[in-house]
Structure 1
């Protein structure tokens, strides 16, 4: 474990005690400074007077230092402890990382973020693990202003955020009720990533949707529509899937229409998402419309498409069409065990027991070659049949 200089250790202790005292004293919580309304990512921030803003003000006061002069003192202590050449100001990267992590784990989050900014200004970047630690800590204490700054420094470092980074974003947004802060955050991310592909925003939307934050996802999505550099077909597919699973089908269909109008051509994932949603609701006619449109656009159905269509035909009692679709699928794709089971069940419901028995025997005979749960779990689109065998 790295040992800090006496001055640095004393500063850490003093600031920890100050934070504890502020948390314990109602008087100290009663008058947060105007810095609470300071900028998100170093720009002025217009927040509405709300309970969320009030809470953030109290929390900021608890986490902030007791005197502005401490800021210089933080940097001085950091430089004393982490410079390998005090005269030339050469920093030890490993020492800098250890120092930030120590500040973070000791609860001195404003100091940790200040050091991150100091390192960023000197074009020195800590590792992704350190960024994720600070993101996690600032998110846990619900200080979104600090959280947004850390995420900004991560993006500017050109280190690619990972799943942990985006999960931290989703968790932070989950706790945030101030939509203006959310929009400000989105605009900042878009500004930083404007010369890149939409991957960053797509992953933010995906993880936020995964955490069930539908309305916040839609707010982000509406903002992305204003400047289409931040969205693509993947963004639309994520939103369509989220809306479909939430049962907001009419809204999903509206977004499909808008997708085309904005020049983003639907792909196989788009059609599978929409058809599967409509299948769950028993909307056979609309399933057929989208399946026909997909083929007309030159997109070949995959295993998921066939599985959905066979299931909806069978459940609607259209056994002949289901069997025709099944035969068509077998010409190009290895069937899955799900298709067999669905067809067998539908045949039994229709009273066609002999045909159901025949399919059951066929399923058992080819069981080793059928696609199962693991294939779908890994998003396997279906094993194409090698006709040269």
Structure 2
């Protein structure tokens, strides 16, 4: 059973019956002239130009050569693929070209980049078909391959589809890693569904995967969404005790939750309690606090925050800078 049959709700051919660009059948690549010291962006432009002309022999050669030149694939590598059916009709030709890339990293990374691009286009069925090709060919299938697919499905709230993908991963001998589990956890927490988040966390614990910064970020977000701000603060303290560095967004979740409940003083106290440890975190946290106070029209409190930012030399966003300039008598 292929990934496509097992995971897609509405299986469909990826426009294989649509006429493909005539040049795609040409086995002879266009001669490649590469400038001195090429960059990844430079190779992306060449790959996309060849892809738009259906010259997949050249695409294949460029993808091989860029790796040898130390220029790795990026989110723009397959930008020539768009939502247009005339573009996606060439997907079969592209997958065949990738299957003939040099083995190991060149082929594996190209497939991963293609899958990520298809997911950005909102096409998980096509992404799964590319993953099936990797599985059938032994092209280095691993959890990273599936991260964009799981991210897309869970963000959509299609947990049934995401669970099928996780099951298909296991069928292929690929165990979902912590990042894969975090996608489920984050999506549940974003919705404030603590019951489902709890079950997701139980799965993480049962598999002995521990918790990383994104796990804690999701839990803090979930607590804030569910109105349990005290629990969110407790999680921040637990992270500190375990030596886990929080994402900047983790503090922002709590600051915003406190501000929305009218706890501006407590939010300011939290920001100042963590001040001085990480300059970038300070800039983010003070910025979020100042913006929230401005939104709530707490002018005096906002003045004190922007004054502190100025004293600490923290970078302000445009709105905060304008507020600071418009309120010179801060303090």
What TM-score, normalized to structure 1? 0.54
Relative to structure 1, the CA distance from residue 221 to residue 329 in structure 2 (aligned partners, 3 Å threshold; closer, same or farther) is: same
1:169 to 63, 78, 81: 78
Relative distance call for 1:216 and 1:188 in structure 2 (3 A) is same
Determine the C-alpha separation between the residues in 2 that align with 1:368 and 1:204: 42
Structure 1 position 235, deviation (Å): 0.4
**What corresponds to 1:333 in structure 2?**
244
- Given the superposition, is the C-alpha separation of residues 162 and 238 from structure 1 closer, same or farther in structure 2, using an over 3 Å criterion? farther
| Pairing 1:10-89 to 2, within 5 Å after superposition | 50=18, 52-53=19-20, 56=21
User: Normalization by structure 2: what TM-score?
Assistant: 0.62
* 1:40 counterpart residue number: none
Task: Note if 1:237 corresponds to 2:147.
Answer: yes
Partner of 2:112: 202
Matched residue count: 262
Q: In the alignment, is residue 295 of structure 1 matched against residue 295 of structure 2?
A: no
Measure how far apart 1:49 and its partner are: 6.3
CA distance in 2, matches of 1:253, 1:48: 27
Cα-Cα RMSD: 4.0
Per-residue deviation, residues 255-282 of structure 1 (Å, max 9, x unmatched): 1232233222333322222211222233
Compared CA separation, residues 304 and 159, structure 1 to 2 (3 A): same
Residue 251 (structure 1) shift: 1.3
When residues 246 and 126 of structure 1 are mapped into structure 2, their CA distance, relative to the original with a 3 A threshold, is: same
Q: 1:337·1:372 contact (CA, 8 Å) conserved in 2?
A: yes
Greater relative contact order (CA < 8 Å, ≥ 6 in sequence): 2
- Tell me whether 1:278 sits opposite 2:158 in the alignment: no
1 CA distance for matches of 2:252 and 2:74? 40
Q: Distance in 1 between matches of 2:138 and 2:92?
A: 15
Cα distance in 1, alignment partners of residues 147 and 100 from structure 2? 23
After superposition, residues 1-389 of structure 1 pair within 5 angstroms as 50=18, 52-53=19-20, 56=21, 113-116=29-32, 126=34, 134-139=46-51, 142-144=52-54, 146=55, 148-157=56-65, 159=68, 162=71, 167-172=76-81, 175=84, 177=86, 181-196=90-105, 198-319=108-229, 321-331=231-241, 332-335=243-246, 338-346=249-257, 357-358=265-266, 360-369=268-277, 372=281
Structure 1, unaligned runs of 5 or more: 1-46, 61-109, 117-124, 376-389
Distance across 2 between alignment mates of 1:182 and 1:296: 39
Cα drift, residue 126 of structure 1: 4.5
Over 3 Å counting, the alpha-carbon distance change for 1:131 and 1:288 in structure 2 is closer
Could you tell me which residue of structure 1 aligns to residue 328 of structure 2? none
Does the C-alpha gap of structure 1 residues 335 and 155 become closer, same or farther in structure 2, counting only changes over 3 Å?
A: closer
- How far apart are 1:347 and its partner, in Å? 5.4
Partner of 1:87 in structure 2?
none
In structure 2, how many angstroms separate the alpha carbons of the residues matched to 1:328 and 1:205? 36
How far apart, in 2, do the equivalents of 1:357 and 1:279 lie? 26
How far apart in 1 are the matches of 2:213 and 2:17?
52
Q: Secondary structure at the match of 1:291?
A: helix
Q: Helix, strand or coil for the counterpart of 2:79?
A: helix
Greater shift, 249-258 or 304-313, is seen at 249-258
- String of CA shifts for 1:233-256, please: whole Å, max 9, x gaps: 110112212223344332122212
Paired with 2:92 and 2:282, the residues of 1 have a C-alpha distance of 39
Distance 1:224 1:174, change over 3 A: farther
Distance 1:208 1:281, change over 3 A: same
**Pairwise CA distance, 1:205:** 1.8
